[in-house]
Amino acid sequence: MIQIHSFVFSPFAENTYILFDETNEAVVIDPGCLMQSEKETLADFIEEKGLKVTALLQTHAHLDHVFGSAFVKRKYGVKMYMHKNELPVLASVESRCRLWGIKGYEPVEADVFIDEGNVIKFGNSALDIVFVPGHAPGHVAFINHPQRFVIGGDVLFRGSIGRTDFPLCDHDTLIRSIETKFMTLEDDYQVYAGHMDPTTIGRERRSNPFLN
């Protein structure tokens, strides 16, 4: 049984997730911890729970999702998993931080490229990967069908969808990703997004103003 714990980090109010099961093996997804105190919050949780982090997963590589990636890689000796189409996004994080006046980002490199159809295993658990570009060119989501949830990144939010006014974004591609990869799931699937509260597929199917 997977447990999902989330943190809200950085001025961007980004949701960082840690997933773990009865074996205490864990994966960290999109560590957005920027301040030292935020890194300590994440590390303290992992220590208090006695978790063994086995992988660092990225839904995508926008700056607010990778602020703490170098820290997690180093502290837990794990590899960073990311879609290869995110390479230009990751490469631009340093310059975007300069542009926005953000200090404290430590550059990081991905180790393993992932794509739709791959499965991430930890403990007794597994996450299926789907490719959901649009908000970012190599955006992926992690789905667990037995427990019916999605770690969705910045694709589908409670009452909203991911922004597409950044470089390398495309609105029509995002809508197509949502319709073909998310809206094909049943109503009771929980969606844990990169910002704001969780939602369900059913709620967004009924009331999301960005979807017809």
Nearest approach in angstroms of CB 165 to Zn ion is 11
Nearer to Zn ion among residue 8 and residue 119 (C-beta): 8
131-169 as b/e, with b when 16 or more CB fall inside 10 Å? bbbbbbbbbbbbbbeeeebbbbbbbbbbebbbebeeebb
DSSP code at position 136: S
Nearest approach in angstroms of CB 195 to Zn ion is 8
Nearest approach in angstroms of CB 62 to Zn ion is 3
Nearer to Zn ion among residue 107 and residue 167 (C-beta): 167
Nearer to Zn ion among residue 62 and residue 181 (C-beta): 62
Nearest approach in angstroms of CB 86 to Zn ion is 10
- Contact (Cβ atoms closer than 8 angstroms) between residue 70 and residue 77: no
- Contact (Cβ atoms closer than 8 angstroms) between residue 168 and residue 187: no
Nearest approach in angstroms of CB 60 to Zn ion is 6
Q: Which position's Cβ is nearest Zn ion? A: 62
Nearer to Zn ion among residue 38 and residue 154 (C-beta): 154
Q: Which residue type, as a one-letter code, is found at position 102?
A: I
Nearest approach in angstroms of CB 136 to Zn ion is 6
Nearer to Zn ion among residue 125 and residue 208 (C-beta): 208
- Report how far apart the first and last C-alpha atoms of the chain are (Å, whole number): 35
Helix 36-49 and helix 69-76, axial crossing angle in degrees, nearest 10: 40
Cα(175)–Cα(148) distance, integer angstroms? 22
Nearer to Zn ion among residue 123 and residue 138 (C-beta): 138
Cα(16)–Cα(182) distance, integer angstroms? 20
Helix count and strand count (H, E) for the chain: 7, 14
Chain positions contacting Zn ion, by CB under 5 A? 62, 154
